[in-house]
Amino acid sequence: MGTHNYNLTEQFEFTGKAKTLSFVAIAVGVLAIGYGFTAKELHERTFANLLLMAYYFACVCMSGAFFLAVQFVAQAGWSASILRVPQAMAKTLPIAVVILIAVMAAGLYTHNLYHHWNAPGLTDINSPNYDKLIDGKSAFLNVPFFMARQVIFLGVYCIFAVLLAKLSTNEDLTGGLNSYRKSFKYSCIFLVIYGFTTPIFAFDTIMSLEAHWFSTMFGWYNFAAMWVSSLATIAIIIILLRKAGYMSWVNNSHLHNLGQFIFGFSIFWTYVWFAQFMLIYYANMPEETVYFYKRFDHYEFWFYLNLILNFLAPVLLLMDRDNKRQENIMLTVCIIVLCGHWVDYYQMIMPGTVEEHHAFGFIEIGTAVGFVGLFTFTVLRALSKQPLIAKNHPFLQESLNHHL
Amino acid sequence: MSNIKYILGSFGDPDEMMHGIEKLQENNIKIHDVYTPMPIHGIEAKLGVKRSRLDILAFFCGITGTMSAFALIYLTSVVDWKHNIGGKPALALPDFIPIMFEVTILFCAFSLVGAYYASTHLFPGRAPRVMDLRATDDRFIIAIDAKENAEHSKIDGLLKDAGALEIKHNERKYISYE
């Protein structure tokens, strides 16, 4: 293994087409959301879409921080040269969190976003709307405690995400092992917190949309979805950067590793999805089957599309070793997986918000495009602020010589 | 005609051995195989070792497992003896999937263990095929087929130049068959 002459001060310039396109996408999103608020009957649908994309945005960014933490705790060497991409995602997390909390607060206080548990009279025994089940859950599912949990969980994720990114910046400036040791320590703490709180975060944000139904698998099901979509996002950013002439040190072996991750966690997602589905199918208890009953009744197309995009496509396309090493195939699969998890979230959220009045039109596409634009803009801006490689990372040489 | 079957160059250092491989290849001497006590990066590419077909075998064994499990469940609980489980149809595919999944893994794992034993000639009760015992300990061995390459002294010289600590002329291929 010889020495390499890579430009370790290479910096991404966020200009030109990428910047223009991200602005155009944001404009489309603003237009779609604005259109959604013109007519009263579109409000709930717009809010459901806002929640979907805000949740997606926050999940991708916080899984970027999770990726960083996993690499540090595993003392992984291969990823040392690509860490700036998840770091940019982690740095964007505070913006995503503010948007998500704003959407949830607006939905709770001004609209009927969580109407299964947040509606007048549900917990009042004298009211005709009284719901014993919801009343029993109201110690946990009430607006102040709900918002407090969201703020605390997301706030803690933000602190760790920004901290891990900052430590890497310090490492660039001062060198030495100090930053690495600190990153390792904070990553350990972060992983424990993250592991215990993400299921609750998913229960709150998504599962409580249908508060009568519950599943203990739901947290891991959402975790798998956010983790695999984050991996796909990291891979897309790296591939596009390479196509634009940056990150010449990333070779097929790095891509292969990301491909294995995406392949493996797509299967993990399916495993959790199926575990949840099969137990409900097998036990056949009305209070559980209601969840899939709704989805079969009005969302059959989305239900099957979800499995095709998130399971069949990655498994068939990424099973072959050589496919994982080819940029264009990886790019295609990553885009399929990202669309797939949009569909996944769509059929998680819509039946509990707009029920059978769901649609797929300008609001859905526009909101999604807008958030993609926002993500592109914020992440690429964060990425352009420092060199594309952490030059003092102790495992950098291992990563540059990575070979599978 | 000598009875020497294999020439073994025994190296104490992996870099010197890699250098030895280069030297032999420059002189168009075909290398039979290389034995090392630890994995060495990039050696497959250098020796031109073909990519393992283990994944293909794993795939087909796995598929066999899937089919076998499906056939077993289908023949027993759909064709032969229908069960009423929770009022579901006899062919309730979601119920079959965990079993099909597990049998896929079982077939795959067992056949790969079998393939490993077959390809390495390791089997309980059978003497392993070893050309030089120290290759499992602290030496890096390059083996050259002496019948195919006639210039034995030239090979010896090349190995020695590259830093071989010891050169053996073996009259039998595997010294472990006693």
* B97 with A274: Cβ contact below 8 A: yes
The 8 Å CB, 24+ separation contacts for A372-376 are A372/A25, A373/A21, A373/A22, A373/A23, A373/A24, A373/A25, A373/A26, A373/A27, A373/A28, A373/A29, A374/A22, A374/A25, A374/A26, A374/A29, A374/A57, A375/A57, A375/A60, A375/A61, A375/A92, A375/A233, A376/A18, A376/A21, A376/A22, A376/A25
The CATH number covering residue B132 comes to: 3.30.70
Q: What is the pLDDT of residues A286-339, one digit of tens each?
A: 899 999 999 988 899 999 999 999 999 999 999 888 999 999 999 999 999 999
Min Cα separation B38/chain A (Å): 16
Q: What is the pLDDT of residues A207-260, one digit of tens each?
A: 999 999 999 999 999 999 999 999 999 999 999 999 999 999 999 999 999 999
Is the residue at B175 inside a domain?
no
Q: Which of B91, B99, B88 is nearest to A283 (CA)?
A: B88
Is the residue at B156 inside a domain?
yes
**Amino acid (1-letter code) at residue A195:** G
B157 in the same domain as B108: no
Percent residues over pLDDT 70 in chain A: 99
A278 CB within 8 Å of a chain B CB = yes
ipTM surpasses cut 0.95 = no
Q: At residue A1, does pLDDT exceed 60?
A: no
* B97 with A284: Cβ contact below 8 A: no
* B97 with A277: Cβ contact below 8 A: no
pLDDT at position A165 is 94
Q: What is the pLDDT of residues A334-360, one digit of tens each?
A: 999 999 999 999 999 999 888 888 889
Low-confidence ranges of chain B (pLDDT < 50): none
B133 in the same domain as B83: no
* A278 with B41: Cβ contact below 8 A: no
Q: Chain A contacts of B87, Cβ < 8 Å?
A: 284
Q: Where are the domains of chain A?
A: 16-394
Range 310-369 of A in CB contact (< 8 A) with B = 319, 321
Residue A2's pLDDT band, with cuts at 50, 70 and 90, is very low
A274 CB within 8 Å of a chain B CB = yes
**Residues spanned by the domain of B24:** 6-51+128-170
Reported pTM: 0.89
Is the residue at B1 inside a domain?
no
Is the residue at B154 inside a domain?
yes
B97 in the same domain as B140: no
Chains A, B: CB contacts within 8 A come to 22
* B86 with A277: Cβ contact below 8 A: no
How many structural domains compose chain B?
Answer: 2
